[in-house]
Amino acid sequence: MSKTRLGFLIDFLSHAAIVGFMGGAAITIGLQQLKGFLGIKSKMFTTKTDIVSVLHSVFASAKHGWNWHTILIGASFLCFLLVAKYIGKKNNKFFWVPAIAPLISVVLSTFFVFITRADKQGVEIVNHIEKGINPSSVHDIYFSGEYLGKGFKIGVTAGMIALTEAIAIGRTFASMKDYQLDGNREMVALGTMNVVGSMTSCYVATGSFSRSAVNYMAGCQTAVSNIVMSVVVFLTLQFLTPLFKYTPNAILAAIIISAVISLVDYQAAILIWKIDKFDFIACMGAFFGVVFISVEIGLLIAVSISFAKILLQVTRPRTAILGKIPRTTVYRNIEQYPEASKIPGVMIVRVDSAIYFSNSNYVKERILRWLTDEEAVKGDYHTRIQFLIVEMSPVTDIDTSGIQAFEELHRSLEKRSVQLVLANPGSAVTDKLYTSNFANIIGQDKIFLTVAEAVAYCSPKLDVNP
């Protein structure tokens, strides 16, 4: 996919969608840690990720009794981790405190369980971990057979979902650390990891939310941290796995919970609400989709709402009636600048979008509706509307449907004895107006560089009779 440069697809994940997704994913992952935090047996805990299923599973297991030893260990070290994070935030000199806190927690909790044999009291521990890395599984890979097609379909779907989740996570941390994210490079990285990983029967690799959160909380600054982490994991698998036998699951849950808490950015959600209500809907759609259904559905809802917003903006572009700012030759939106005055006998309209088949009819109908409304107003003008000036500087492009709409607009205006004048069309638009012969239809002398020049052309020709 990197060869086809499909990384642009990640641009459809808006900031609002990512804020909602990250908040929902943080809560979802935090809830999943309740199994280890409360000492719930795996067979009694749901494999689903939605909040309803998780909480139902949690409370259903309560009748069998949560393990208070596990809760005590988890709560104690969670408090320790949160205090360490607070200390690091308050004083930059102690940045190393939250960085080393998870390691201290693992060592102390493991030692505590070992000397007290808390595992005999129902505290869930890691137990035996196989030493070494997975053996090669290259001989188990087949490129033919009945499962090839199914594997390809699943692979494409899993790849897109994995990329989407990785980008959603990566963008959040990129904004925190102020660096750029390249979608195509992310595709190359994920693809390479999964191709190599498939040779040793690894899980599908994607942007790990919990690991990224822990990495961020530890203060890691560059990708070298991943190299160090890989070396440490390798050495641990080779030589140190017996030492983790008594590590309680509660401490692992506490580390992840402490890491994801700060990723629920409610302040960003409040700001999104104040700025753009449609963005807030996308944010909440992603949040509730992740929390109540699944990560994939949450992302799908967010992207769908973002697409709907794009379609709405494309099909219903902003338009404005312009007036003259006193003592200047500047023309601005009369709603934004109340002091701007209309020109008697002239209506000036600005279209703030490219004009395509998707919005050309709307633009034409909107202009005609405004013209009808202006003509219906009594007392505002000393003369009827005789010229319609369309300010086209924001119109970056126009297609055949747009030109057709302008031709229909021109014919409608002629029936009303109103002349159409264009101001400041861009070079691409101008070329198409001349190529389509529309410039000759309205008259080449009615295309001007500025609105002021267009008004100067219209003013001497106005019939000022009431």
pLDDT tens over the chain, length 466 residues = 444 454 555 566 677 887 888 788 888 888 888 888 888 876 777 777 788 888 888 888 777 777 888 888 889 999 999 998 888 888 877 777 887 888 889 889 988 888 888 878 778 888 777 777 777 777 777 777 777 777 777 777 666 666 666 776 776 677 666 777 776 777 777 778 878 887 877 776 766 666 676 677 667 777 787 788 888 888 887 887 787 888 888 898 898 888 888 778 888 889 999 988 888 888 898 899 888 888 778 877 877 887 888 888 788 888 899 999 998 889 999 989 989 888 888 899 999 888 988 888 999 999 999 888 877 764 444 568 889 999 999 998 999 999 999 999 999 999 988 899 999 998 889 999 999 999 899 888 899 999 999 999 988 777 654 4
Asked if residue 167 and residue 51 are part of one domain, the reply reads yes
Query: Is 239 part of a structural domain of the chain?
Result: yes
CATH number of the CATH domain containing 331: 3.30.750.24
Asked if residue 388 and residue 292 are part of one domain, the reply reads no
User: pTM here?
Assistant: 0.65
Q: How many domains does the chain have?
A: 2
Asked if residue 150 and residue 70 are part of one domain, the reply reads yes
Query: Is 446 part of a structural domain of the chain?
Result: yes
- What tokens were used for 246? 């008594």
Asked if residue 388 and residue 239 are part of one domain, the reply reads no
Asked if residue 337 and residue 236 are part of one domain, the reply reads no
Query: Is 288 part of a structural domain of the chain?
Result: yes
Asked if residue 352 and residue 306 are part of one domain, the reply reads no
The whole-number pLDDT of residue 208 equals: 65
DSSP 8-state class, residue 248: B
The whole-number pLDDT of residue 466 equals: 44
Asked if residue 327 and residue 206 are part of one domain, the reply reads no
Q: Please tell me the distance from the alpha carbon of residue 392 to that of residue 72, in angstroms, as a whole number.
A: 68
Query: Is 1 part of a structural domain of the chain?
Result: no
Provide the pairing of β-strand 331-333 with 319-324: antiparallel
Q: Which domain holds residue 356?
A: 319-461
The whole-number pLDDT of residue 268 equals: 87
- What tokens were used for 270? 């409040």
Domain boundary residue, one of 311, 345, 378: 311
Nearest to 450 by CA among 323, 324, 329, 322: 329
The whole-number pLDDT of residue 2 equals: 43
DSSP 315-374: HS--EEEEEEPTTSS-EEETTT-TT-BPPTTEEEEEE-S-B-TTTHHHHHHHHHHHHHHH
Query: Is 383 part of a structural domain of the chain?
Result: yes
Domain boundary residue, one of 290, 311, 332: 311
Domain boundary residue, one of 258, 291, 311: 311
DSSP 54-108: HHHHHHHHHTT---HHHHHHHHHHHHHHHHHHHHHHH-GGGTHHHHHHHHHHHHH
Query: Is 466 part of a structural domain of the chain?
Result: no
Asked if residue 256 and residue 115 are part of one domain, the reply reads yes
Asked if residue 328 and residue 179 are part of one domain, the reply reads no
Asked if residue 250 and residue 201 are part of one domain, the reply reads yes
Asked if residue 244 and residue 391 are part of one domain, the reply reads no
DSSP 8-state class, residue 122: T
Query: Is 365 part of a structural domain of the chain?
Result: yes
Query: Is 93 part of a structural domain of the chain?
Result: yes
Asked if residue 417 and residue 303 are part of one domain, the reply reads no
Q: Measured on CA atoms in the order 16, 18, 19, 21, is the torsion positive or negative? A: positive
The residues near 197 (Cβ < 8 Å, ≥ 6 apart) are 203, 204, 205
